[in-house]
Amino acid sequence: MPQLSLHSPLGPLTLSEDEGSIVALDWGWGRDQEKTPLLTRAQTMLERYFDGEPESFDLPLAPWGTAYRKTVWAALQHVPYGQTISYAELAAKAGGSARSIGGAMSHNPIPILIPCHRVLGKSHLGGYSGEGGLDDKRYLLRLEGVAL
């Protein structure tokens, strides 16, 4: 499986590709580095994003997960840059409950590109599965201009 790593303000990140789609974005530097056109394009988009340029991440994504989680992640991809949605609002769009939305977010294999950092609790930030936890979530939200 081709992988390509990049430096980011959150630390090293590694993109993984399988059969022409991005399947994972992991914290840490990948062991094997292989530049493919798709991984290079995704790396460039992420670098622009971290430079503060709004990015829509129009990339082929194929996250592995249950049918329900895939439905949640697909709905989440429609939350625009710089905007947020509550767990309850996302549940109304994708089905399930706020709790099940949180479960889907915690298993998102392609964070940032599938922007689970944009999902907030009614009175709190919620959680974040990135290596830096809520500090990473705050960073990403501020980067997108969301007032906390």
Q: For this structure, is 116 an active site residue? A: yes
100: tokens are: 């099940």
**Alpha-carbon gap, residue 93 to 79, rounded angstroms:** 11
Distance of CA 36 to the CA centre of its chain: 20
Query: Sign of the CA dihedral 101, 103, 105, 110?
Result: negative
Catalytic residue among 24, 114, 116, 140: 116
**Alpha-carbon gap, residue 129 to 14, rounded angstroms:** 15
| Phi, psi (deg, nearest 5) at residue 119 | -100, 125
| Phi, psi (deg, nearest 5) at residue 14 | -125, 125
| Catalytic site positions | 116
